[in-house]
Structure 1
Amino acid sequence: MPPLRRSLVPIALACLTLCGAAAIATAPAAVAADAAAGASVRERSAFNAGWRFAKGDQAGGASMNDAALRSGADVPAGADLSAARVDYDDGAWRKLDLPHDWGIEGPFRQEYPGDTGKLPWWGVGWYRKQFTLSAGDAGKRIYLDLDGAMSHATVWVNGRHVGGWPYGYASWRLDLTDVVKPGAANVVAIRLDNPKDSSRWYPGGGIYRNVWLVKTAPLHVAQYGTFVSTPSVTPAAATVDVQVTLENHGADDEVQVATDVYLLDAAGRRSGAALAHRDVSAPAKIGVGRQVQLTQALTLAQPRLWSPSSPQRYVAVTTVTSRGRVTDVVETPFGVRTIAFDAARGFLLNGQRLPIQGVCQHHDLGALGAAVNVRALERQLEILREMGVNAIRTSHNPPAPELLDLADRMGFLVLDEAFDTWREQKTPNDYHTLFDAWHEKDLRAMIRRDRNHPSIVAWSIGNEIPEQGRSEGWKLAARLAEIAHGEDRTRPVTAAYNHVASGYNGFQNAVDLFGYNYKPGEYAKFHASAPHIPLVGTETASTVSSRGEYFFPVSDDQSKGQANFQVSSYDLSAPRWAMPPDVEFRGQDDNPFVAGEFVWTGFDYLGEPTPYNSDATNLLNFTDPAQQGRMARELADLKKIAVPSRSSYFGIVDLAGFRKDRFYLYQARWRPDLPMAHLLPHWTWPERVGQVTPVHLYTSGDEAELFLNGKSLGRKRRGPRDYRLRWDDVVYQPGTLRAVSYKNGKPWAEDSVATAGAPARLTLAADRAALHADGADLAFVTVRIVDRQGRPAPRASNRIRFSLSGPGRIVATDNGDATSFESFQSPQRNAYNGMALAIVRTRAGEDGRMVLTASAEGLGSAQVVLDSQL
């Protein structure tokens, strides 16, 4: 198919997600009497509870030579498959509920290979579950849907191999109909084989996303079988196109489809009567074992448009009938909005320019590991939204469906990314081993699953792939773009390129939207060479810092500011291939045709502890042989010592979710109407009396005056390309440092930092006091160490002990220190620069009062009360 791109890529979009629980029937009047029956046909229920788990292959006598077990199984020769048998005794296995990440449980070990968090995420793991289907399920289609399993999954049901999927980030479905026994007990066994050297960061291990059991009638909507788009949107009306793919596993039949559209409220509930309705005028015939696609067009009057500032959604309720009998009802939430990437104006949402203020996010959730949790994802998005973020890049793989649901509801744009590698490797066992056999399946699966989320504005087919330097590499990019267009022509295709040459060697013509990583100096040249191609910064800055660490003297040399395996928080340090935020800001401001940026990264993540990593793939960032040689020598020296870092330094927010100074630099830029000011560094430096201690101020004001103990140190005004105010010659004296910022000559915002006394007590603050007693909800409790006057003690490292009473448990603790190798499950934790975190989880079905207590020797104890509600 021809590419979408030219100078303007117009998009009109609406969103689909298949119903998250049992589908609720809401049919038009003609079939209202049968709607309840239709709803009972389609059931989608969580399949997460009551699993058994064991690490490694389990001896028991069966091997690859057992034909009943090995049929079609993609497992190594000699692997023991006895755990796939129905009669296998798993009584000694660990009981757990999904999602589950076995790697986050540790232990940390320095000798673990690579820069993937020093945690044991690789290896073989088995999961088994017994379940019973009712006799009434006879005649239904039974499916197992897995949102993600890391990785190389193979599945048996009742001792028979039913399939699997190797890509750990993919969502996939298995048809169990022919192997399950309605009215009887059944056994599912899943073997994962997560290879070493298959990732550049911490991928996690296990069935780390949700699992669902789906039951339908033989005639039903296929998986990801509704596709909603809005090809025409005006203030008066929107045309809503609904494509429905049906599949028939019964007898030859006739089928009709009707769709109703309702408004959704902020909680995702239907509001009011149907706003639009459409029937298929005549029955369509569908043969046994066949699929048929039907299309409907509805008119939605005076549509409320989806946007980050107003994430309004609708729901399309599709009712399938055959000879007057309801066979399926599916709810499809969607949003109405238009998007365009314009080569001259950047990104347009609903016809208005909207700069993309984005961050890249890996999928792990810090101390919780890779196991998906909705509240943990929501907290991350809340913190990022406070900073001014309006977009997320799912680097570098398909995300959990829950992230996209949250983005739809909370109003975030999403760049949905498929791959980190194609045919050429970055690590020995990464996706390149799967690419030829699986890339089309994986890319189509991602787009079919995600293509109707209003949050998604573009598809990314790859990140910094080595093929970008090959003369014929663009052909592979063009093929992947063609696959993407075949599944969805409402959004552009992009890729993230880190080689300058990619903008001129054919790769720029293989995609609709060109993405440069770390190339602000190239924006003008690229635009001059290809003024018809839209451009975005797909990965920017990569500034590194450690929360609360400041090293002296302060240098503008971005390779400086490193000590004790930490990085200074003056926000001037970056790897050679990256840059401080200010440089990218200038590139964007000097070239307003750029659609925006995705900063590396929003949150710190497990693994990739640059600049203290030993990742040879960093050599890919250099094309000059001299640079490559120097980098190789540095990496060789680094490998001679133990690298005491578990996690990255790139985050604007640290691994515990605590804001670094850089948070406020971006907030000042991305929220210019918010009165704010932020001083750094802290002002507790007893060893620096009389020494020069530079002071920086991040503010949305345009000028500021600095005071030390009431004495003015000067008033400074920002220039047109200045993004921070600096007083580089301040001589440290204990006391109070205060900044008053101004905007248009009027007072705007203030900030102050004061010299703290000795640590004296603890304070606790929970992000939420009321929780759901569903066994999944979380409270994130921040501990701060303060002096007698309540001033933060910014260098305190006291040992903190946590305990909890009531219907919950402490599931993790952290402090944001990249060099800490204490177990995340430990109820004790040293504060890092005055702060620590405890994460509390509710118990399913148990409500009541929970009390979290934190104590430290010499500091007493403090408590916070949480309420778990049914």
Structure 2
Amino acid sequence: MTFGAENLIAVKADNTKWRPEEATGMPFQWDSRDFNPTFGGLTRNVRMYVVPKTYFTLPLYTNLRTTGSYVYASAINVASGSATVTVEAQVRNEQSTARTITVSANVIKPDGTVHATITGSPVSLAAGATQIVKLSQQISGLVLWEPGRPHLYTVEMVLSEGGVVQDAFPITTGFRKTEFRGGATNGGVYINDRYVFLTGYAIRSANEWAVIGGAVPDWMTDLDGQLIRDSKANLIRWMHIAATPANIRMTDRYGIVSVQPAGDKEADKTGRQWDQRVELMRDVIIYFRNNPSILFWGAGNNWITAAHMTQMTNLRKTWDPNGGRVMGCRAISDDSAYGGRAAVDAAEWVGTMLNRHYSDYSRDRKPIIESEYTRDEAPRRVWDRYSPPDFGYQTGPDVTYHLTSEDFAGPHAAATRHEFWGQHIQGPGQRRYSGAAALIWADSNQHGRQYNWECCRLSGRVDAVRIPKESAHTYRVMQSDTPDIHVIGHWTYPANMTKTVHVMASAHVRRVRLLVNGTEVGNDTSATNDFLYSFPSVRWQSGTITAIGYDTGGREIVRTEKTTTGAAAALRLTPHTAPGGLRADGSDIAFFEVEAVDAQGRRMPTHQARVDFTLTGPGRFLGGFNPGKPGSAHKSYADTEAGVNRVFVRASRTAGTLTLRATASGLTAATAGIDSVPFTTTGGLTTAPPVRGEQWKQ
């Protein structure tokens, strides 16, 4: 860059598939269609840093050979909230003479006030030198980061020379105490001296949405975080390749423990392809080692040799020795076919898949995380065998799974979760697991097994536009640490229908009563797989179905109900934008939820029909998505599914009012508008940060 003159920044973007390493011609193992959808263009925010001649470096090792700064806490006293906070700041002097600099750090609370300042002593930095400047200080009154209370601080590092600030760099982080134990009785994962059973989901690292792919604004990424926490999950295992910075910032903010990999496919490698994995793991550790939500580094999606695991563990010890994290991978075992005891001994945590690789030898030495269970699939649109318009899941000859939403969210979910929850460390019976991740979070266009019938994998708790499936509600109940209950399905059926009604209740519940219009139709004290209560031969009557949960003493502790709706009479549109509105920056997204509602404004749960959309104003209509209809994205129409869908619009660079109109045969049309707000740039650049969901949530 030449200061005082015009500079040209050129970006070349393409979507070339499977580009090999330029220096060697060797393909990257993880660069395959199986796990990484190909997106063209820029799919995330691009930041440009203009720094002085003496400056804090960035954590971009392969590109710049710099490591950035490392912030961590030690000697943590959980009761008093005191800890020694250390900053290891890498600084570089690109001037022709030596400089005498001072590095300090302000520990800033979320409200912007300075909690403490860590002061440093003057340091001489030779011309052209790059050096780590280390400063530490005991700080009291800290609020520690943990699931459910994800407290974050900004550590603002300040570089001064002669009392004049030359550079400043903020790092958002959190402080927490961790311990990782083996053993059936007192083993498991401890956060801030408290045993935590980790429960959640395995997610493809692309974590894309239908229609917009991987170009997801931060506020929508944070919507994922809010929904995941609403489902009472506290764990994500990102799969195969490293999760994006936006997704890890999301897990930091929402208190979700992350397993962060680097890059692999599903086999150990040798030669240059193994070296590529080691180099990428190093880079990932350096880049993400200040993110408090990461507790586990993932060395592979399948077993690796003891020698390779030792290499990976040594990377952690070299680049993240004080971050309270551990290195491991999926599928290693004391079985020689999966690395053997030496591989387990070299690892710091052990992952299994579908309970295939468990061993007592591993359990007694390391925390074991079930990394991927319940791989089955079901579409959101198919309630059960009794609901119109499909009356069951009508599938083609090559479809792998035939579960309805009720099957998937009820008997199947309870059985597969029980396999791991029922064997959790410090629990009853067999004690094996410190955590478990169900596949997946959101329906995803990863490497679909049935593209001739469905457009994506349907294993999600939410669909590909983040509308909750019944599975999201039942997992919320099973993962809840407070009393919770859910009636699976709806209560708007054809006349004379009789069916089994399933109710999911949390572990606090010991008896469930089922009532239809106030009259008891079932009383169950025997849960299947701890969570599922089933009531056969319930005859549908228009009105209300109620489930009531009782504790061991017979006291009512929770209840829920569902009500029959009338026929669909109208459409309803509800817009969703980032906090502060849709930015007229040419890339921001808004989405509209479209519902078919009855005369009282209640969503009609079995409506499934085409809705046509017309957008006016400064923006582009991107359309919606129906997973059972290939080619349905980016059309001017989309079907409701179970009475609801979502469609997307993209802002232009002109501010103004965008108005969306929705029409459907036989229903009153709906219209909704949003105002896009001006977005100012200077020479195409802005210092305005991305809008995040913490603001959206408020």
Aligned-CA RMSD value: 3.9
1:311 to 141, 145, 150: 150
**2:518 is aligned with 1:717:** no
1:302 to 141, 145, 149: 141
The amino acid that maps onto 2:331 is: Y
The answer (yes or no) to whether the contact 1:360–1:539 under 8 Å persists in 2 is yes
Q: Give 1:199-238 correspondences, 5 Å limit.
A: 199-200=34-35, 202-224=37-59, 225-234=68-77, 235=80, 237-238=82-83
The CA distance in 1 between the partners of 2:589 and 2:620, in whole Å, is 10
The CA distance in 2 between the partners of 1:322 and 1:357, in whole Å, is 49
1:286 to 105, 126, 135: 126
The answer (yes or no) to whether the contact 1:494–1:513 under 8 Å persists in 2 is yes
The amino acid that maps onto 2:211 is: A
2:496 to 682, 685, 689: 689
The answer (yes or no) to whether the contact 1:600–1:650 under 8 Å persists in 2 is yes
Structure 2 match to 1:650: 459
The answer (yes or no) to whether the contact 2:261–2:281 under 8 Å persists in 1 is no
| Structure 1 pair 718–374 and aligned structure 2 pair: CA distance change class (3 A) | farther
Please state whether the residue corresponding to 1:506 is helix, strand or coil. Answer: helix
CA drift of 1:237 comes to 2.7
String of CA shifts for 1:4-60, please: whole Å, max 9, x gaps.
Answer: xxxxxxxxxxxxxxxxxxxxxxxxxxxxxxxxxxxxxxxxxxxxxxxxxxxxxxxxx
Please state whether the residue corresponding to 1:515 is helix, strand or coil. Answer: strand
The amino acid that maps onto 1:376 is: M
**2:318 is aligned with 1:486:** yes
Q: Which has the higher contact order (CA 8 A, sep 6+)?
A: 1
Please state whether the residue corresponding to 2:550 is helix, strand or coil. Answer: strand
The answer (yes or no) to whether the contact 2:420–2:433 under 8 Å persists in 1 is no
The amino acid that maps onto 1:210 is: N
The CA distance in 2 between the partners of 1:440 and 1:522, in whole Å, is 24
Structure 1 match to 2:684: none
**2:610 is aligned with 1:799:** yes
String of CA shifts for 1:705-764, please: whole Å, max 9, x gaps.
Answer: 223455422211244942111113335566643323334533344444455554322123
Please state whether the residue corresponding to 1:337 is helix, strand or coil. Answer: coil
| Structure 1 pair 381–794 and aligned structure 2 pair: CA distance change class (3 A) | same
Structure 2 match to 1:518: 354
The amino acid that maps onto 1:135 is: G
Unaligned runs of 5+ in 2: 60-67, 679-698
The answer (yes or no) to whether the contact 2:410–2:474 under 8 Å persists in 1 is no
Please state whether the residue corresponding to 2:405 is helix, strand or coil. Answer: coil
Structure 2 match to 1:440: 278
CA drift of 1:434 comes to 6.7
The answer (yes or no) to whether the contact 1:785–1:796 under 8 Å persists in 2 is yes
Structure 1 match to 2:374: 541
**2:88 is aligned with 1:243:** yes
The answer (yes or no) to whether the contact 1:704–1:741 under 8 Å persists in 2 is yes
| Structure 1 pair 168–284 and aligned structure 2 pair: CA distance change class (3 A) | farther
The CA distance in 2 between the partners of 1:671 and 1:722, in whole Å, is 13
Q: Give 1:574-593 correspondences, 5 Å limit.
A: 580-588=416-424, 589=427, 590-591=429-430
Structure 2 match to 1:594: 433
| Structure 1 pair 249–484 and aligned structure 2 pair: CA distance change class (3 A) | same
**2:186 is aligned with 1:341:** no
CA drift of 1:503 comes to 7.8
| Structure 1 pair 712–826 and aligned structure 2 pair: CA distance change class (3 A) | same
Q: Give 1:670-749 correspondences, 5 Å limit.
A: 670-673=479-482, 676-686=484-494, 689=496, 693-700=499-506, 701-719=509-527, 721-731=529-539, 736-743=544-551, 744-749=553-558
CA drift of 1:348 comes to 1.1
String of CA shifts for 1:550-601, please: whole Å, max 9, x gaps.
Answer: 45599xxxxx98745563112459999x963333332335455632222211
Structure 2 match to 1:386: 230
The CA distance in 2 between the partners of 1:485 and 1:146, in whole Å, is 37
The CA distance in 1 between the partners of 2:219 and 2:340, in whole Å, is 43
String of CA shifts for 1:343-379, please: whole Å, max 9, x gaps.
Answer: 2331111111222122122221232102242122111
The amino acid that maps onto 2:377 is: V
The amino acid that maps onto 1:537 is: E
The amino acid that maps onto 2:247 is: L
| Structure 1 pair 443–145 and aligned structure 2 pair: CA distance change class (3 A) | farther
The answer (yes or no) to whether the contact 1:773–1:842 under 8 Å persists in 2 is yes
The answer (yes or no) to whether the contact 1:796–1:833 under 8 Å persists in 2 is yes
The answer (yes or no) to whether the contact 2:259–2:298 under 8 Å persists in 1 is yes
The CA distance in 1 between the partners of 2:446 and 2:411, in whole Å, is 16
String of CA shifts for 1:53-90, please: whole Å, max 9, x gaps.
Answer: xxxxxxxxxxxxxxxxxxxxxxxxxxxxxxxxxxxxxx
The answer (yes or no) to whether the contact 1:144–1:213 under 8 Å persists in 2 is no
The answer (yes or no) to whether the contact 1:756–1:793 under 8 Å persists in 2 is yes
2:250 to 384, 403, 406: 406
2:661 to 828, 853, 867: 853
**2:365 is aligned with 1:532:** yes
Structure 2 match to 1:607: 446
The amino acid that maps onto 1:695 is: V
String of CA shifts for 1:392-450, please: whole Å, max 9, x gaps.
Answer: 2222211221122222223222211112327658xxxxxx9972452232111111110
The CA distance in 2 between the partners of 1:731 and 1:799, in whole Å, is 31
The answer (yes or no) to whether the contact 1:318–1:330 under 8 Å persists in 2 is yes
The amino acid that maps onto 1:497 is: A
The answer (yes or no) to whether the contact 2:200–2:438 under 8 Å persists in 1 is yes
The CA distance in 2 between the partners of 1:413 and 1:351, in whole Å, is 16
Structure 1 window deviating more from structure 2 (786-795 vs 381-390): it is 786-795
Structure 1 match to 2:342: 506
The CA distance in 2 between the partners of 1:295 and 1:165, in whole Å, is 39
The CA distance in 2 between the partners of 1:146 and 1:452, in whole Å, is 30
The amino acid that maps onto 1:285 is: L
Structure 1 window deviating more from structure 2 (543-552 vs 296-305): it is 543-552
String of CA shifts for 1:156-198, please: whole Å, max 9, x gaps.
Answer: xxxxx999998699xxxxxxxxxxxxxxxxxxxxxxxxx8x54
Please state whether the residue corresponding to 1:476 is helix, strand or coil. Answer: helix
CA drift of 1:650 comes to 0.8
The answer (yes or no) to whether the contact 1:152–1:165 under 8 Å persists in 2 is no
CA drift of 1:387 comes to 0.9
The amino acid that maps onto 1:689 is: N
| Structure 1 pair 729–504 and aligned structure 2 pair: CA distance change class (3 A) | farther
The answer (yes or no) to whether the contact 1:243–1:294 under 8 Å persists in 2 is yes
1:495 to 320, 323, 329: 329
**2:108 is aligned with 1:276:** no
Structure 1 match to 2:307: 475
The answer (yes or no) to whether the contact 1:219–1:247 under 8 Å persists in 2 is yes
2:108 to 259, 263, 269: 263
Please state whether the residue corresponding to 1:304 is helix, strand or coil. Answer: coil
| Structure 1 pair 858–134 and aligned structure 2 pair: CA distance change class (3 A) | farther
TM-score by length of 1: 0.66
The answer (yes or no) to whether the contact 2:74–2:85 under 8 Å persists in 1 is yes
String of CA shifts for 1:601-634, please: whole Å, max 9, x gaps.
Answer: 111111333xx54xxxxxxxxxxxxxxxxxxxxx
The amino acid that maps onto 1:679 is: V
The amino acid that maps onto 2:86 is: D
